Amino acid sequence: MKKLLSILAASSLIITMPLAVVSCKKPDVAERFDYSNLINTFVAETIVIFQTEIYEAFKPWNNISEKQLPETMTLEEIIAHEDDFNDHSSIYYKKVSNEIYKIINIGEINKSINKEITSNINYQPILIDKASPLKNGITIENISPVVKGKNCTLNIEMSADIFYKDSNGNNDFQKTTTFAFINIFESPDILGAAKLIGDRYNDIINGTQANDYSFIGDKGDLDNTAEDLQKNSDVLSFVSKKIAAISTEDISSSLNPSIVYNETKVNVNKTSFSDAGRFESIFGNQNASITPFTQYKTALKALSGDRASEELFLSNIKTNNPEKSWLFSHVSAFNDQYTENAVAASKRDPSIALAINPYNLDYNFANDGSAIKWALERQGSKFALNMENDKKTIALFGVDVSGAAYYLEGQKYDLPEQKIVYRQVTSYSSTSDLYKKFIDDAYQYQKAFVGLKGRALDENPQYQHFYLKKIEGIFSWELYKELNWEQYGEDLMAANPEANEYSKDLQFTSMFTNKYILTGAGEDTPEAKQPNKVYFKIPVYPNPKEECVFLMSNKKNGYMDGFVLKSYLFSSGAKNQFKPSFSFRSEFDFLYDSKYSYISNDSQRYLHLWNERSMFKLI
């Protein structure tokens, strides 16, 4: 379980304090959310737009004739001044660069960035003056002519500084670089051949074949899947074969045409992916035949090893009927056409899970994957989801394709970098079957994790204790140690190898959430996200019979132990609670009295720890 739990501390879950509590102290800006993650995503999405706009601006200039050059320039003159391009202060270099600057429409680029980036409320804390991050515009770093017989290629390197506020509120920037080219042909015949090859390449990327790219996979950890996709040789092989199939048969043999496909590169964009999961999963259905509290008691009996209770519990949470399922998708929180379509489809076709379906994917792609979706539209891609053909598609990944080229008259010419989308298609017969597999595995994971098997249950289920595995080296810690959850949370989750075996097939993400994780005004904003504290009571002597006590608290308000273990099918659940998950209790249905409720100072923390007043114990 590689990336279980940099949770509750890292751009993950929203925690708001009760309305009755008013704080006059401004929280440390670095504590509010994970700046690193936010900045990385901000920069990555800005780069997508910057590069795409540059590619599109130069697309009409990729292959031109000498007649299309500005009146003040000729192909012969460019070739004659080849050495002048080494001196950026030379008159001729400045002349050519001024003409190239005319191709770059910085106003159009900033317009796109403002629409897709600066208007995003999540980026407001790091924007400078709430304006485009390209404060210094775009700089032509280098123009390099490559003479190719009677023809010439101008390779152009451009850069831009992406400005933002760092975690301390100071202005900072990252530099990004991109490339473009202009092929200038002396002969109409070779120009025509170059354009024909370019059009056929464009068809592979953006035309009728734009929907051909997919792979089989069931894992829900999107970051890991992106890494696996990058390493998957079949992905590169498939794209390369597509490019190799570009026909040159109708091009004059005197031009000696050939396609360069074995230098093709694919790069999976680490921020451009979307999954098919939607709607928060709620445990405890008021409309079921038994009360939510009885549902919870049944869950505890199942987790303790009662076979009949386990069968009853699983059968009632795996149903696709949100009106009766003990674990249901909270669709009433949304009022949009995507939701209406998803509900109707799942009712019409039992193989379509309400929690995982192409309508959810379409919604998420329009929101989570807005930068890559914008780029596809900008480059004229015909990629589109088909609600019938994509019934088994569970995620989309943006992929950059580069390195393709061709030869004409013995000279090599590059094809432009473009973006495609790879579909992740489940190996299961339907998303309904995938969802049931997830519920089975997540249940077995949590059953092993909470340690109730074979134990007598507490008389009052509200005060049920759970028994978690000790973290290695725990006895070397000081008493009542306050720990950083981001640092030690993953260690706690990884301390149970038996449980972790159940997460390997689907790579779902498990974490703790609490009843104060709310969206308040309904906005999932980074400012609202707060880390949590973890406390451990370590025995004075390493006595195996004495239990360690594990406590968690809301960092800002000190609320203790109103925590629920959740397993999310998709890793996006770590940042968005409105994703399908498994849990056997609800943060809102089971409240705790003062025995478990609040720690306001060190002395109270000491008392709680000394009396072992925690729902979690480490064994």
Residue 540 clears pLDDT 60, i.e. is over it: no
The kind and range of the H/E element at 95 are helix 91-103
Residue 433 clears pLDDT 90, i.e. is over it: yes
Q: In the chain, what is the straight-line distance between the N-terminal and C-terminal CA atoms, in Å?
A: 21
The confidence band for 476, taking pLDDT boundaries of 50, 70 and 90, is low
Residue 260: how many other CB atoms lie within 10 Å = 17
Strands 258-260 and 265-275: unpaired
Total residue length of the chain? 619
Nearest of 432, 455, 452, 456 to residue 444 by alpha carbon: 452
Q: Report pLDDT for 471.
A: 76
Q: Report whether 422 contacts 213 (CB < 8 A).
A: yes
Q: For 379-389, write each residue's pLDDT tens digit.
A: 999 999 999 99
Helix (H, G, I), strand (E, B) or coil at 5: coil
Q: What are 582's two structure tokens? A: 């498994």
- Mean of pLDDT values over 146-167: 96
DSSP 274: E
- Mean of pLDDT values over 483-493: 69
Q: CA-CA distances (angstroms) from residue 451 to 24, 92, 468, 499, 560?
A: 42, 76, 6, 10, 20
Single-letter amino acid, residue 362: D
Spatial separation of the C-alpha atoms in residues 298 and 291, rounded to whole Å: 11
Helices (H), 328-430: 337-348, 358-367, 370-378
Single-letter amino acid, residue 63: N
Spatial separation of the C-alpha atoms in residues 45 and 164, rounded to whole Å: 13
Helix (H, G, I), strand (E, B) or coil at 221: coil
Residue 247 clears pLDDT 80, i.e. is over it: yes
Q: Report pLDDT for 130.
A: 85
Q: For 253-264, write each residue's pLDDT tens digit.
A: 999 999 999 999
Residue whose pair of structure tokens reads 């003062």 in the numeric block: 594
- Sheet with 393-402, side-by-side order of all strands: 214-216, 418-425, 393-402, 265-275
Domain ranges of the chain: 34-186, 195-280+330-427, 430-618
Name 337's Cβ contacts closer than 8 Å, sequence gap at least 6. none
Q: What are 438's two structure tokens? A: 């997830």
Q: Report pLDDT for 477.
A: 57
Q: Report pLDDT for 378.
A: 92
Share of the chain above pLDDT 70, in %: 79
CA dihedral of 586, 558, 548, 484, whole degrees rounded to 10:
100
Single-letter amino acid, residue 110: N
Q: Report pLDDT for 34.
A: 64
Helix (H, G, I), strand (E, B) or coil at 614: coil
Q: What are 527's two structure tokens? A: 């400012």
Spatial separation of the C-alpha atoms in residues 537 and 617, rounded to whole Å: 9
Spatial separation of the C-alpha atoms in residues 439 and 442, rounded to whole Å: 5
- Mean of pLDDT values over 193-197: 98
Least confident stretch, 95-109, 288-302, 386-400? 288-302
- Sheet with 532-537, side-by-side order of all strands: 466-468, 616-618, 548-554, 532-537, 481-484
What does pTM read for this prediction? 0.84
The kind and range of the H/E element at 303 are helix 292-303
Least confident stretch, 134-138, 362-366, 412-416, 553-557? 553-557
The confidence band for 94, taking pLDDT boundaries of 50, 70 and 90, is very high
Instruction: Tell the burial category of 540 from Cβ atoms under 10 Å away from its Cβ (0-12, 13-18, 19+).
Output: exposed
Single-letter amino acid, residue 340: E
Helices (H), 536-597: 594-597
Average pLDDT score, the chain? 82
Helices (H), 474-528: 485-494, 497-501
Q: Report whether 371 contacts 396 (CB < 8 A).
A: no
Q: For 549-570, write each residue's pLDDT tens digit.
A: 555 554 444 444 456 789 999 9
Q: Report pLDDT for 321.
A: 75
Residue 80: how many other CB atoms lie within 10 Å = 12
Q: Report pLDDT for 479.
A: 55
Residue 586: how many other CB atoms lie within 10 Å = 17
Nearest of 47, 140, 153, 141 to residue 102 by alpha carbon: 140
Separation of CA 392 from chain center = 20
Output b/e per residue, 328-340; b: 16+ Cβ within 10 A: bbebeebeeebbe
Nearest of 419, 390, 372 to residue 273 by alpha carbon: 372
Q: What are 37's two structure tokens? A: 């993650």
- Mean of pLDDT values over 24-46: 64
Spatial separation of the C-alpha atoms in residues 120 and 38, rounded to whole Å: 12
Name 71's Cβ contacts closer than 8 Å, sequence gap at least 6. none
- Sheet with 509-514, side-by-side order of all strands: 509-514, 563-568, 581-582
Helix 370-378 crosses helix 35-58 at what angle (to 10 degrees)? 0
- Mean of pLDDT values over 80-97: 96
Q: Report pLDDT for 536.
A: 52
Q: Report whether 228 contacts 437 (CB < 8 A).
A: no
Sign of CA dihedral 120, 125, 131, 133: negative
